[in-house]
Structure formats: structure tokens, C-alpha cells
Chain A
């Protein structure tokens, strides 16, 4: 019975906080509307400088082919303003006709190694295609995202990021906020138990998280035409579990902090590591072993894997059951720890 009033109190507090309401609506809209366009490793419109020493029909055709593909755009001859530089040798057309070896030079500004790698890769493909020299003829079938749209890949991951930020930060600021306001003292003199106290704090974030998930899925459908390939119920189940895990972690941090800014920076520190070491932006297989080990201790790793598998590839509940199991372990550990770390005595 106490529990019901406690939950009611938490809801009232959130309802009266105009900031939280604004975040719950605005943040998902901002993230789903803008981020897929910005947070993309889709490389296009690279600045290319082509020096054509041959200036024949063939070399001009090659330049045209490179510039018309959408990956490259021409820049004027100015040092340091180009990303890629291609030099077409003088005897390009002659060698092309006689079938002898053509020497081409590509230089790329490799400060951003990924951009340079993909850019030279594209350029290689275009040139080889132009010359009529392809690799071995292997048929390649691109499953699940035949248009190779990078936005599609990022959206489930952005949902994970959003849930982590909102359902991680808000609880982290919650209890410590009560400490700063002094209201925690009033709570400490009531007969409310540790479990009830933490549980009542969790419920609102759980609902906020699911509301955010719903909003983002609707937006993803209307703005990016992304229809979940798998079952929506499975995604909600996984998210419901994950939110409890990450909110529990937030409450744990909150319990152990004495000021808002402290809670905030500690949480920022952990969320940064959670997000970077989860495979959200860079593949886990490319990480060194010690980093791969850390990814195993990160609830986001499993949740991102689930969301991508279900949302994009239509994996079933049975496929992701082991991953759900891992998340449940985090749920238990974080929340037990949060309950145990709440002390009425200071």
C-alpha cells in the first residue's frame, strides 16, 4: 500500500517538473529527426582534385565518371582544401587502348583514416570499373538493407543511446537531488523500506523509457520509413529489461553521490564508456582483447545487438534469448546494489 503512494509521489514530482516533460518529448524528436543524418559514416561529396595530364577523351570520361557518382565533387586547385588527389598520367588513353599497365597516383588526406580509406576504396572501384577490370566475378547479395542506407543501421543504435541517456541520467540525478533539497531526510524517518524506496523510484523511469521507445519507433517509421523486421513485442520486452538495468545503475550512482554535479560527472564518465565500448559506433571485433573483455561487462553491448538483430534482421525471441539472459544479470546486480547502497543513516 505504501508502495502505491510512493509511486504516486514520484509521478507527481516528475509531472510538475516541466524540464523532464520537455526532455521526454523533445529529445527523441531531436535525436531521430537530426542524428541519423549527422551521425553517419556514409561518405559522400568528398573533395577531389583531379590533375589530368593526358587531357584526352578517355581521361575526361574517367573524370566525368568519378565526379558524377555522388561520392566526389571537384574542388579548385588550392593546396590543403582537397580530401583526395588523383593524378592521371600523360599516356592514359594510349595505354588503355594498347592494354599495357597504367600507373595512377592517388593521395588522400588521411587525418580521418576512415574517410580516407572509404574514399580511396570508392575511387579504386570506379577506376577499375572504368578500365573494365573487375575482381573475380563473385555475386554479392546484400541482405536486410539492399539500398545500403546507413541511416537504417544507426536508428536502432540511436534508440539505445537515447534510452541510456534518459533512463540513466534522470535516476542518477534523482536521489541526490532529494539529498540536496533535504527531502531525503523526511523519507528516512518514514517506515518505507529500502526495496520499496528504490522500486518506487524505478517505475516512473521504466514508463518514461517505454514512452520514448514508442515515440522513436513512430518517428522512425514516418520520417525514415523504417519498419521493424522483427516483432515489436520482443523489442519492448528487451527494452523493458534494459531500462530497469540502466535505471538501477543510475540510482546506484545517485546513492553514492553527495552533490548533483558529482552524480552528473560520474554518470557522464560511465555512460561515455558504455556507449563507446558497446559496438555502437565501431565494431567490437576490431577492438583489442582487453577492450573486448570490457564490452562483455557492458549491458549496452547486448542491448544494441538485440535491437539491431530484431529491428533490422527480424530475429526472433528464441534467437536473442541468451542476450536477454545477460541483460537480466545486469538488472539483478545493479538493482540489488542500488537497494543495498541506500542507507537511511548518513
Chain B
């Protein structure tokens, strides 16, 4: 046992003496939480709208004023349609509102589509759709425009709406629509994967490269003990990061931990086991640090970021990608964390995720330890 602890100590020294790496590893979750929490938002605000106003009357002034006053738009006037299109092409403007000279006449005669024209930059389709809707809604709220439409309706130039509807929207679990609720579980999955898999495989392969692994093999310590001793510091490091993330998200981002903390810990420990055994498996397959880096980068990080549902919704992907995503451990972990942490669900709801992860952990552990022994 004492011998084993000395081995663990040796591994801790390895990590703690590389100040820069450990600094990055401890800072990474903090930076990610701050970036995702405060800087990154898919909400559209301050979209640049360029207005070409040929009417120059009180209605067009009101429309422009309303657009400028809303938090969604920043208005820049343009003299000609060509000028406006050019600024869309350059990427300076997201959409252009063209107000025709006969604006009022157009509305009164029931042809507002001629009087008001929106040109969007649909190269970003979601943004185009959202900003066009916002702009149309803001334009529709103009009182002068509503008065004129009423006149048009009285003249029989406009078909009055068949009914009116009052839609109440409720945003469950996340009424403020904060992005943080979605990505905190994602960041947890990514960081754990990064530290446990990448770092573990790197540290083992490094010893192979340097030849120090052979020294360990000839020592009286059993290979299995060597490997587990290597894993313990990374386990500790990832737990530190996990706690950092949870504290930051609770106290800085106000993301609640609604479910049981115990359940969350169990889920995380199982996922950490999966990641550690993937790291071990990679280290048995490759012989150079470069290969380990590239291997874990391409086989682990990319699919984890893209296919785990951390950034992009899985159900919108084509079927074959959805199938691939089922073998990615982070997918199940992130789903489980969301359910426990944000939705506050109990064990029965995450049983599926927990079972899948446990299964993965067992298979991977057995396979990687076998392979490791075979080589040792």
C-alpha cells in the first residue's frame, strides 16, 4: 500500500511541476463558464438595419424612430437602394428597409407590400428570419400605420383578419431563456473528457516515449497498480474542476441545482470512469504523444463538441448522425446532468443514462485493462 501511495505521489509531482499546464487546466472551466455565461448569446440584439427612406414624411420618421428605439436594431440611413445592398454585401448591415415614396398611399390603397420592403441577408437564415419578424412587428406597432390600415379596411381595400388570437407563452425551467442552462452541463462533459481522457493517455504515452515506462514495468509494482496510480491525480483534478464549475454556475450565473447533488455526483463519477478508461485505451493503441493528441482530439473532442447535444440539438440532425451520437458517452452524461440539475428529476428519469454510462464504463475498463496487460 505504501508503495502504491508513493506512486500516486510521483504522478501528482508530475502534474504539479508543470505550472503552465495546471494553470490552463484550472482556468479552462472558469473561462468557458464566463464566456458562455456572459459573452455568447444566440439572441439577436443590435442587428444593423439600413433604412432607405424615399417618403420622408411623418410615418417614415415614426417607423425609423421606432426601429432605432428598440433594443433589436441599430439604424443607419442609406441614400440609395444600391448603397444599402452594398452594405449588406460587405456584412455591415443585416437587413435593409426600403420605404417607398408613396408610402401612405400604398397603405391606404391596401398594397403595403409595395410601400414597405425588407431585404434580408439570408446567408444567416435564422438571423434573417428573426430580424425580419422583429422589424415587421415593430413597423406594425406604428400608430399612424395602424390608423391608415383602418382607413384601408373601411374603404374595403384590406381584408380584415378573421379572428384575433392571444397566445400565452411559457418558458419552462428557464423563463429568462438564459443560455447558461443549456451549456453548463455541456461544459462539464467537455472538461471532464478533456482532462480524464486526454491527459491520462498523454501521461502514459509520454512515459512510453521517454522509455521510463520500461523502468516501471521491471519494478515490483503490478501494471494495474501503475495505471490506477496514474489515474488518481486526474480524477482529483477533474473533481476540483467539477466543483469549480458547479460553484461558478450556481453563484455567478444563477443556474440552479434543482435535483439531488448526490445523484449528480454518482453520474459524474461514472462518466469520469468512462473517460479515464478511454484515455487508457488510447494509450495502449498509440506509441507517440503526437498520435495520442491527434487521436483524442479527433476521435474524442470533435465528436464530443459537435454530436453530444452540447451546442447543437441532436433531434435536428439527420438520422445517421443521431445514430453515431448514441455511442458518444458525453451525450448521455450531458442529458443526465440536464435532467438532474436543471429539471430536478429523480433517479427513475435518468436510469437510462446511468445504465448506458455504467455499461460503457464496464466494457471500456475491461477492454483497456486487458489490452494494457497484454502489452506490459
Give A residues with C-beta under 8 Å from B: 17, 19, 23, 26-27, 30, 34-35, 37-47, 80, 95-96, 98-118, 120-121, 124-125, 127-128, 131-146, 148-150, 152-153, 169, 173, 177, 180, 257, 259-262, 264-266, 268-269, 272-273, 276-277, 281-283, 285-288, 290-291, 294, 305, 308-309, 312-315, 319-320
Q: How far is the CA of A305 from the CA of B40 in the complex (A)?
A: 18
Q: Is B165 in contact with A127, judged by CB distance below 8 angstroms? A: yes
Residues of A within 8 A of B168 (CB): 103-106
Residues of A within 8 A of B120 (CB): 140-143
Q: Is A43 in contact with B316, judged by CB distance below 8 angstroms? A: yes
A-B contacts, 21 of them at CB < 8 A, read A38-B307, A38-B312, A95-B163, A98-B163, A102-B165, A105-B167, A111-B174, A111-B338, A111-B343, A113-B42, A113-B181, A114-B182, A118-B126, A127-B167, A136-B112, A136-B136, A260-B202, A260-B293, A285-B45, A285-B74, A313-B91
Q: With A114-B42, A308-B91 known to touch, is A42 a contact of B316 (CB < 8 Å)?
A: yes
Q: Is A142 in contact with B206, judged by CB distance below 8 angstroms? A: no
From residue A26, how far is it (CB to closest CB) to chain B in Å?
A: 8
Residues of B within 8 A of A133 (CB): 161-165
Per-position 1/0 for B122-136, Cβ under 8 A of A: 111111111011011
Partner of A281, one of B145, B290, B311, B321: B311
From residue A128, how far is it (CB to closest CB) to chain B in Å?
A: 7
Partner of A143, one of B88, B166, B169: B88
Q: Which residue of B lies closest to A267 (CB)?
A: B24
Partner of B294, one of A19, A128, A277, A319: A19
Residues of B within 8 A of A132 (CB): 161-163
Q: Is B18 in contact with A313, judged by CB distance below 8 angstroms? A: no
Contact residues, B81-114 vs A (CB, 8 A): 85-86, 88-91, 112-114
Residues of B within 8 A of A35 (CB): 306
Residues of B within 8 A of A259 (CB): 18, 21
Give B residues with C-beta under 8 Å from A: 18, 20-21, 24-25, 27-28, 31-32, 35-36, 38-48, 74, 85-86, 88-91, 112-114, 116-130, 132-133, 135-137, 139-140, 145, 149, 161-175, 177-179, 181-182, 194, 199, 202, 206, 209, 289-291, 293-294, 297-298, 302, 306-307, 311-313, 315-318, 321, 338-339, 342-343, 345, 349
Residues of B within 8 A of A27 (CB): 298
Q: With A105-B168, A135-B136, A141-B119 known to touch, is A260 a contact of B181 (CB < 8 Å)?
A: no
Q: How far is the CA of A26 from the CA of B294 in the complex (A)?
A: 12
Q: How far is the CA of A191 from the CA of B329 in the complex (A)?
A: 52
Q: Is A309 in contact with B119, judged by CB distance below 8 angstroms? A: no
From residue B157, how far is it (CB to closest CB) to chain A in Å?
A: 11
Q: With A104-B165, A269-B28 known to touch, is A142 a contact of B88 (CB < 8 Å)?
A: no
Q: How far is the CA of A99 from the CA of B160 in the complex (A)?
A: 10
Q: Is B41 in contact with A287, judged by CB distance below 8 angstroms? A: yes
Q: With A111-B338, A124-B167, A286-B44 known to touch, is A309 a contact of B289 (CB < 8 Å)?
A: no
Partner of B40, one of A105, A110, A287: A287
Q: With A141-B118, A141-B120, A257-B20 known to touch, is A104 a contact of B125 (CB < 8 Å)?
A: no
Q: Which residue of B lies closest to A120 (CB)?
A: B169
Q: With A260-B289, A276-B35, A283-B127 known to touch, is A266 a contact of B44 (CB < 8 Å)?
A: no
Q: With A80-B349, A111-B342, A150-B126 known to touch, is A143 a contact of B121 (CB < 8 Å)?
A: yes
Q: Is B123 in contact with A144, judged by CB distance below 8 angstroms? A: yes
Residues of B within 8 A of A108 (CB): 169-172
Q: Is B126 in contact with A143, judged by CB distance below 8 angstroms? A: no
Q: With A27-B298, A110-B174, A262-B18 known to touch, is A141 a contact of B165 (CB < 8 Å)?
A: no
Q: How far is the CA of A303 from the CA of B175 in the complex (A)?
A: 36
Q: How far is the CA of A107 from the CA of B173 in the complex (A)?
A: 10
Q: How far is the CA of A140 from the CA of B135 in the complex (A)?
A: 10
Q: Is B173 in contact with A103, judged by CB distance below 8 angstroms? A: no
Q: Which residue of A lies closest to B161 (CB)?
A: A133
Residues of B within 8 A of A260 (CB): 202, 206, 289-290, 293
Interface centre among B25, B47, B171, by most chain A C-beta atoms within 10 angstroms, is: B171
Q: Is B89 in contact with A282, judged by CB distance below 8 angstroms? A: no
New contact pairs (11) apart from A104-B165, A140-B136, CB-CB < 8 Å: A39-B306, A116-B174, A120-B169, A124-B167, A125-B133, A135-B137, A136-B116, A143-B121, A150-B125, A268-B194, A269-B28
Q: Which residue of A lies closest to B126 (CB)?
A: A41
Residues of B within 8 A of A144 (CB): 121-123
Q: With A121-B133, A309-B91, A313-B91 known to touch, is A106 a contact of B167 (CB < 8 Å)?
A: yes
Q: How far is the CA of A27 from the CA of B303 in the complex (A)?
A: 12
Residues of B within 8 A of A266 (CB): 20, 24
Q: Which residue of A lies closest to B85 (CB)?
A: A143
Q: Is A153 in contact with B125, judged by CB distance below 8 angstroms? A: yes
Q: How far is the CA of A301 from the CA of B18 in the complex (A)?
A: 32
Q: Is A269 in contact with B118, judged by CB distance below 8 angstroms? A: no
Q: With A96-B163, A283-B44, A286-B45 known to touch, is A138 a contact of B172 (CB < 8 Å)?
A: no
Residues of B within 8 A of A116 (CB): 171, 174, 177
From residue B94, how far is it (CB to closest CB) to chain A in Å?
A: 8
Q: Is B39 in contact with A288, judged by CB distance below 8 angstroms? A: yes
Q: How far is the CA of A101 from the CA of B166 in the complex (A)?
A: 7
Q: How far is the CA of A256 from the CA of B264 in the complex (A)?
A: 39
Q: Is B89 in contact with A309, judged by CB distance below 8 angstroms? A: yes
Interface centre among B45, B165, B290, B345, by most chain A C-beta atoms within 10 angstroms, is: B165
Q: How far is the CA of A124 from the CA of B137 in the complex (A)?
A: 13
Q: Is B113 in contact with A265, judged by CB distance below 8 angstroms? A: no
Q: How far is the CA of A309 from the CA of B85 in the complex (A)?
A: 12
